[in-house]
Amino acid sequence: MFKDRMLEALKHSKKRSKNDAETARAIAKMGSQRRLSSQEFLKVYDTLWQEGPLVKHQTPNAKG
């Protein structure tokens, strides 16, 4: 279930270019449950990463 959602997110990602062969290989490997190389993993990570909201603290240097 999670694997299917992740593959769909990768296929429809706005960050992924149409001619991105490395991501296409990673998607194929993930579909067949094979290990990704470190470069493929980093490409998948960069494609899926979404920056969250910034959190501002009133006193960031305070302890406690």
Confidence bin at 19 (pLDDT 50/70/90)? low
Give residue-wise pLDDT tens across range 40-59. 898 888 888 888 888 887 77
41 in a domain, yes or no? yes
55 in a domain, yes or no? no
63 in a domain, yes or no? no
If one counts the domains in the chain, the total is: 1
Residue numbers of the domain that contains 14:
2-48
Q: In this structure, how many other beta carbons lie within 10 angstroms of the beta carbon of residue 62?
A: 7
59 in a domain, yes or no? no
Q: In this structure, how many other beta carbons lie within 10 angstroms of the beta carbon of residue 6?
A: 14
22 in a domain, yes or no? yes
On average, the pLDDT of the chain sits at: 82
Helices 21-31 + 38-48 axis angle, to 10: 100
Give whole-number Cα distances, 1 to 4, 31, 64, in Å: 5, 12, 41
